[in-house]
A and B are shown apart, each in its own frame.
Chain A
Amino acid sequence: DVKVTQSSRYLVKRTGEKVFLECVQDMDHENMFWYRQDPGLGLRLIYFSYDVKMKEKGDIPEGYSVSREKKERFSLILESASTNQTSMYLCASSLTSLNTGELFFGEGSRLTVL
């Protein structure tokens, strides 16, 4: 089975702190994604990557950056956390093309910014 592992299930940070969210997948998938999940808004795409060192902005990239130095690892970075970034963050990966293939999700990282 494909496994997508997010390093932290729950984090509490203070405004202005730098936050790293790590995601690792074990099935050699080309594509990796970071989504943000908020009640009533569904999932919104922050960034995605279709290859090592490649990244593309999603629908809400402001305030975030990403890093993909190795194929299996995709990191989301909040340079200076703000309270409006309190949310559930979901990482996902897929093998085939972005829009036709199944996404495999991690269990999520719930971030609270105080």
Chain B
Amino acid sequence: AQSVTQLGSHVSVSEGALVLLRCNYSSSVPPYLFWYVQYPNQGLQLLLKYTSAATLVKGINGFEAEFKKSETSFHLTKPSAHMSDAAEYFCAVGSSNTGKLIFGQGTTLQVKP
């Protein structure tokens, strides 16, 4: 069965610092992996997705994620945090077996001035 684990329900960084949000997955078949962001009082929107092309995926707003099969990870990074990055971030995995997306528990990113 597929699953997604996001390590850390809350992450706090200072403005300008590196952002690292961790995601590990389990999947018996090659996965499709996604990061979504949810700003306060809004729905989710896609940040980036991995679909077996390049292992380093670039997304919107300066975010990127690296697919590491050996570590079953898909961590999200951004070199320099902005105040506007404060939001909840969700990692998700999909497979052709189930035809569904499975979401992680979410990580709330706080950015301090």
A residues with a Cβ closer than 8 A to B are 4, 35, 40-45, 48, 58, 90, 92, 97-100, 102-103, 105-108
Contacts and interface: CB of A to CB of B under 8 A. Distances in A.
A94 to B, nearest CB: 9
Does more than half of chain A's interface fall in helix, strand or loop, or is it mixed?
Answer: loop
The number of chain B residues touching the other chain, given as a range, is 20 to 34
B69 to A, nearest CB: 18
A100 B105 contact: no
Contact of B42 (A40, A99, A103, A107): A107
B90 A42 contact: yes
A102 B46 contact: yes
B43 A42 contact: no
Interface in B38-56: 41-46, 49, 51
Nearest to A35: B103
A42 B105 contact: yes
Interface string B74-113: 0000000000000000100011101111011110000000
B41 A40 contact: no
B94 A100 contact: yes
Most chain B CB neighbours (cut-off 10 Å) among A48, A100, A107: A100
Given A40-B9, A43-B90, A108 B43 contact: yes
Nearest to A106: B43
Given A43-B44, A100-B32, A107-B42, 18 more contacts: A40-B106, A42-B105, A42-B106, A44-B103, A92-B44, A97-B96, A97-B99, A98-B101, A99-B95, A99-B96, A99-B98, A102-B34, A103-B101, A106-B43, A107-B41, A107-B43, A108-B42, A108-B43
B99 to A, nearest CB: 4
B100 A103 contact: no
Contacts of A106: 43
24 contacts: A35-B103, A40-B106, A41-B105, A42-B105, A43-B90, A43-B103, A44-B103, A58-B100, A92-B43, A92-B44, A98-B94, A98-B99, A99-B32, A99-B95, A99-B101, A100-B32, A100-B51, A100-B94, A105-B44, A105-B45, A107-B41, A107-B42, A107-B43, A108-B42
